[in-house]
Amino acid sequence: MQIEDLRLELQRKEQELMQMQAKMKTVEEQHADFQKHIAVLKESLIAKEEHYNMLQIDVSFPTNNYIFFKKKRKKKNGKLWRMRLQNFFHKCSVREEGRLDNAKSY
């Protein structure tokens, strides 16, 4: 009787062990699937970040060019105004010298 009870106990424990092994295998497979899913999500995130960075470059490029050319135009306009002022003052000084020369000759 005791031997029979021990055999039944052993069979029950073996069944539990097989069930636990099956559960363990299922959990390991799920873990592997989750790891693959995480890897795919990481790749997707990296691709989205690269895409975002490219869009930022596309957006900032025209803005940066606009600012660059606007500054360049301001410098050019500034030089033009300085030249005009210099010419104006030069003409004024030439006229003034001419008046002074005319006044001395009288």
At 84-106, the pLDDT tens digits run 778 777 777 766 666 656 555 55
pLDDT at position 61, please? 59
N- to C-terminal Cα separation, the chain: 154
**d(Cα 53, Cα 63) in Å, to the nearest integer?**
15
Q: How confident is the model at residue 81 (pLDDT cuts 50, 70, 90)?
A: confident
Q: What percentage of the chain carries pLDDT values higher than 70? A: 68
Which one, of 59, 60, 62, lies nearest residue 70 by Cα? 62
Instruction: Report residue 18 as tokens.
Output: 């097989």
Please list the alpha-helical segments (H only) found in the chain.
2-105
Return the ∠ at Cα 62 (arms to 61 and 68), rounded to 5°: 90
pLDDT at position 104, please? 58
Instruction: Report residue 48 as tokens.
Output: 């989205």
Question: What 8-state DSSP symbol labels residue 94?
Answer: H
pLDDT at position 93, please? 73
| Digit-coded pLDDT (tens) for 39-68 | 999 999 999 999 888 887 766 656 656 666
